[in-house]
Amino acid sequence: MKIPILFPVIFLLVFIPGLSAQITQSQVENAESIRYTTMISADTTALSQMLADEFIYHQPTGVVVSKSEYLINISSGNTQFRSANFTKLDVSLYGHVAVSRGSVEVELEVNGKVITTGLRFLNIWVYRYGHLQLAARQSAFLD
């Protein structure tokens, strides 16, 4: 009796540590914190590595932006993040995928105007290339 080729592949993925790394809640919480730190410092190189190539952001204004549009907006200085403080953060884990949701108070400058606002958000994180990447984000104003 021949064992299908798929069986050894599944065995390796399930039973060899590191090949099927599971995301932890603390990894997601840390990634959320680091993401805002990179945005405040306008470190688009680090932020680019945190965002999946297919990243899409449904902004609270109704505008939808891609990864490249988001990075250009931050690097141009049109949007400057000054601070971000989580008021709530919940994480659900699904193997290589995590969903974070909660609320955050942000202070930012948009086209020269300082704005302080609360946001409710939903983020989808995926584990790739040895680290978490943000694949999708949606937020809404709390005010």
CATH code (residue 133): 3.10.450.50
- Say how many C-beta atoms besides its own lie within 10 A of residue 26's C-beta: 9
Q: Which residues, including other chains, have CB under 8 Å from residue 128's CB and lie 6 or more apart? A: 52, 96
What is the pTM for the complete model shown?
A: 0.83
If one counts the domains in the chain, the total is 1
Is residue 3 a part of any domain in this protein? no
Is residue 1 a part of any domain in this protein? no
Is residue 8 a part of any domain in this protein? no
- Say how many C-beta atoms besides its own lie within 10 A of residue 131's C-beta: 12
- Residue 90: which domain range? 22-141
One digit per residue, pLDDT tens: the chain, 143 residues? 444 554 443 343 344 444 456 899 999 999 999 999 999 999 999 999 999 999 999 999 999 999 999 999 999 998 999 999 999 999 999 999 999 999 999 999 998 999 999 999 999 999 999 999 999 999 999 97
Is residue 132 a part of any domain in this protein? yes
Is residue 26 a part of any domain in this protein? yes
